[in-house]
Amino acid sequence: MHTMANEMMQAVRLHGMEDLRVEEAAIPVAEAGEVRLRVAYAGICGTDLHLFDGWELEGAVTLPPMPAIIGHELSGIVDSVGPGVERWKVGDRVTVQPQVYCGDCTFCQRGNPNLCSNKKKITKGGAWAEYMVVHERTLFAVPDGVSLQIAAMTEPMGCALRAVEMAELQPGDNVFIAGGGTIGLLLANLAQARGANKIILSEPQPIRRALAAEVGVTRAVDPMNKDLPAVIADETNGDGADVAFEAVGLAVTSEACIKGIRPGGTAVLMGVPKPGTTLEISPWEIVSQERLIKSSWLLVDNMESCLRMMPRLDLDKIATHTIPLAEANEGIRMCKAGEAVKVLFEIGGENSS
């Protein structure tokens, strides 16, 4: 379907805190260097929930001018290309890395474009809509054998894969993961694929704990009223985990990850904390045990590796709910209540054209 500039589409727009509306919006037009996609599937991400809640975290969660179409995890089919675009053609199946980097600042030059000081979102509006326009450089081809539904999870998988690489996870490692949301379960699935020994996961929601076993978790525990470092020690002959991942963003789980690793172990923090969160931990507990604390933010150059690895993982189990755009508020509610893991909007579906 080809559409004119003044035609309208269905979109989900954030008007302010906790004010998300399903409404009509103008279909964007691809200009020079840009590509318009018919969105196939789009995910609800933790940071979308933070925007909905009105959080502001410098450099990470910044409220766009309202009203705004949000959503940055997606797959789609190329619908039209702007002047000068030669790499992509109508009908191509694609996914998007939602942020681009300047390439010139110190951090880009050092190989850390995720820390770019001039980073900006270059999409004209987000993915929770029938159409979206992005810069051609942000696109990645979805290989045959990967559904568009699963390809919509490439960006969160890239974030999890980066954290696994930061942790230098080795076959045989005992792993602790705080959080059984999308990122936590992706971490488990990736750790299993790397040959981890035990994978212990903490998650308060029973639905998510039940799912954990299907993506490689060997023991899923309810963290409420539990001493997590003691649980981890119990599972690892008293040593502690070789590697721990924090995928919640709470102080208590961050501290559990740091205290739950063995001497010389590595904790990777990646959950997005509520503004004002601070940790209480004695430096002595870190220094005297040579605990290595790292962090992982966004992804770097791994969208293609993720797309290649997808057929060998269990992402279909992590994508627990597929709903229409019209049910956006219910999708947000389910995510916040922990009743779902990854909620995807089915917009154009597998045959979006």
Nearer to Zn ion, 72 or 209 (CB): 72
Whether 47 is catalytic? yes
Minimum gap (Å) between residue 161 Cβ and Zn ion: 13
Q: Which of 11, 116, 241, 347 binds Zn ion (CB under 5 A)?
A: 116
Minimum gap (Å) between residue 264 Cβ and Zn ion: 32
Q: Which of residues 77-106 bind Zn ion (CB under 5 A)?
A: 101-102, 105
Cα-based distances in Å from 233 to 229, 241, 260, 267: 6, 7, 7, 15
Q: How far apart are CA 68 and CA 96, in angstroms?
A: 19
Of 204, 198, 199, 203, nearest to 187 (Cα)?
Answer: 199
| Total of residues contacting Zn ion (CB under 5 A) | 8
Minimum gap (Å) between residue 336 Cβ and Zn ion: 15
- The structure tokens listed for 138 are 């942000």
Nearer to Zn ion, 220 or 299 (CB): 299
Minimum gap (Å) between residue 127 Cβ and Zn ion: 10
CB–CB of 94/58 below 8 Å? no
Nearer to Zn ion, 116 or 212 (CB): 116
Residue in the block written with tokens 């904790």: 267
Which residue in 50, 72, 135, 321 is the catalytic one? 50
Whether 321 is catalytic? no
Q: How far apart are CA 40 and CA 121, in angstroms?
A: 20
Q: Is residue 335 within the footprint of Zn ion (CB under 5 A)?
A: no
Minimum gap (Å) between residue 47 Cβ and Zn ion: 6
Q: How far apart are CA 179 and CA 187, in angstroms?
A: 10
Q: Which stretch binds Zn ion (CB under 5 A): 85-93, 115-123, 271-279, 297-305?
A: 115-123
Minimum gap (Å) between residue 344 Cβ and Zn ion: 12
Burial class (CB in 10 A: 0-12, 13-18, 19+), 218: middle
Q: How far apart are CA 137 and CA 29, in angstroms?
A: 17
Q: Which of residues 227-246 bind Zn ion (CB under 5 A)?
A: none
Show contacts of 6-11: CB within 8 Å, 24+ apart: 9/129, 9/130, 9/131, 10/129, 10/130, 10/325, 10/326, 11/69, 11/125, 11/128, 11/129, 11/130, 11/325
Nearer to Zn ion, 73 or 136 (CB): 73
Q: Which stretch binds Zn ion (CB under 5 A): 112-120, 198-206, 238-246, 311-319?
A: 112-120
Q: List CB contacts of 58: < 8 A, sequence separation 6 or more.
A: none
Amino acid found at 123: T
Which residue in 3, 47, 218, 322 is the catalytic one? 47
List alpha helices for 194-287, DSSP H: 206-212, 228-235, 251-260, 283-287
Q: Per this entry, what is the length of the chain?
A: 353
Of 272, 267, 248, nearest to 59 (Cα)?
Answer: 272
Q: Which of 40, 108, 178, 272 binds Zn ion (CB under 5 A)?
A: 108
Q: Which of residues 32-51 bind Zn ion (CB under 5 A)?
A: 45
Nearer to Zn ion, 125 or 240 (CB): 125
Nearer to Zn ion, 102 or 323 (CB): 102
Minimum gap (Å) between residue 230 Cβ and Zn ion: 33
Nearer to Zn ion, 160 or 261 (CB): 160
Binding site residues, Zn ion, CB under 5 A: 45, 73, 101-102, 105, 108, 116, 118
Instruction: List residues with catalytic annotation.
Output: 47, 50
